[in-house]
Every structure is written in structure tokens, then in C-alpha cells.
Amino acid sequence: MNMSEQQRRAYLEALDIDVWLPRGADAESQDVAGAPPSVAELGWDELRACVAECQLCDLHRERTQTVFGVGAEDARWMIIGEAPGVEEDRRGEPFVGRAGQLLDEMLRAVGLDRGSVYIANTVKCRPPGNRNPEAAEASACRAYLDRQIALVRPELILAVGKVAAQNLLASDAPVGRLRGRRHALGDIPLVVTYHPAYLLRSPSQKRLVWSDLCLARSLLREGAA
């Protein structure tokens, strides 16, 4: 198998294995040493290319394409969902199916649209049959999401649904217990709310989502969207 150095590093990072480099070729001096950067150092184009060829977990076997993320690369809001569904897998863009239309409405309610936020998923490949991603799949993909967050440097993260919330917060609490309050990912405020796919089934919960969106908006630096 022909594996790029970047891909090898991504595999090792996903397995939590320290990458040993020759003396003088540590993270600080890789450019000098000429070694390829790890995922945590990639720019947007390199990261996109790395994700597009990723085979870190079995989800790559059945995907049509990876679904990287969309929106403003300097967005104040970053929306993090679960995984691509059938429509997203076909089109290569997150949240373009029915749940995505509802997400667009949720964003419009606070004066936003998908061009002014950044939208990404916990995993970049569609799980077969639209099942939830497994923990190992989410952790294999985590370096990519972390790098997206580091590149966007959002003022606020909105985690929609259980998979995003539990993975980002390393919690197994249900969304009902995580929503409605401020969390943080490092120094970035994080708010959890229900997934729009759940709202399609339980529209009466929309009022709780509205209150989560208002909370999120209040956590922005100047308190405005």
C-alpha cells in the first residue's frame, strides 16, 4: 500500500501513538527538517486533501466521498453534527438533506445562514444504513475535526445531537442533560442542543432549541450574532 507520510502520521495520531522523529525533526522544526506536517499543522487545502484520501477506519469502504465541511473559514459560530447521511454522501456537503433544511431554519432564526457559520461533522464518512458512528470511528476522525476547529477559531461551538455532544465533551450524558448550559472546549464556549433530525420527529422540542440558540448567541464576544 502506498501511504503518504501525512496519512501515516494521522494513523499513528488516531491510535494515540507518539510519533518519534529523528533528533532535530520535532514538531517545532519540521519545516526545517523537511518532514511533512502532522494533521494538527495542516492548512485548509492540505487538510481537505488528507481527509479526502483517509482510510483510517472502515467507513471509507462504503462512502461515495468524504464530507469535509462547509461555510466561512473565519466563522464566529461553528456547528458540529454527527455524520453524513445518504444525501450528504451523494453531494459531499454536510446537512443538505431534510435535517439540513431544518438546521438552515434554526440558523435563520438567529440571523445566520450556512455561509456565515462553519458546519462540520464528527465523522466525515457516511456510516452504512445511517447508523450512529462508533466510538472508534469518531476517535479516528477526531484529529480532522480538531484541526478544523483550530483553523476556524470560532467564538462558539454549537454541538447538535448526542454524537457530537458526547464526543466533544467526553460524556455519556444524554442531550437532555447536556443542553441548556454553557460548556467549553478548551477556551471556546460550547452549547449543546437537539439534532434537527430529532426535531423532525419531535417538533415540540423546538422551543428548547430556540432557548439553546439564544444562550449560544449570548455567549458571543459582543453578545450579538
Helix (H, G, I), strand (E, B) or coil at 132: coil
Q: Judged by CB under 6 A, which stretch of 21-29, 49-57, 82-90, 139-147 contacts ligand URA?
A: 82-90
Q: Judged by CB under 6 A, which stretch of 75-83, 150-158, 167-175, 205-213 contacts ligand URA?
A: 75-83
129, burial (CB in 10 Å: exposed 0-12, middle 13-18, buried 19+): exposed
Grid cell digits, residue 80 = 458540529
User: Least distance from C-beta 96 to ligand URA, angstroms?
Assistant: 7
Grid cell digits, residue 203 = 417538533
User: Least distance from C-beta 86 to ligand URA, angstroms?
Assistant: 9
Can residue 89 be called a binding residue for ligand URA (CB under 6 A)? Answer: no
Rg (CA), the chain: 18
Torsion region of 115: left, alpha or beta (phi above 0 gives left; psi -120 to 50 gives alpha): alpha
Select 94 or 154, whichever has its Cβ closest to ligand URA.
Answer: 94
Select 6 or 107, whichever has its Cβ closest to ligand URA.
Answer: 107
Can residue 94 be called a binding residue for ligand URA (CB under 6 A)? Answer: yes
* CA quadruple 87, 90, 91, 95: dihedral sign: positive
Can residue 71 be called a binding residue for ligand URA (CB under 6 A)? Answer: no
55, burial (CB in 10 Å: exposed 0-12, middle 13-18, buried 19+): middle
User: Least distance from C-beta 83 to ligand URA, angstroms?
Assistant: 6
> Of 39, 56, 77, 84, which one interacts with ligand URA (CB under 6 A)?
84
What residues make contact with ligand URA under the rule CB under 6 A?
81-85, 88, 94-95, 97, 99-100, 121, 197
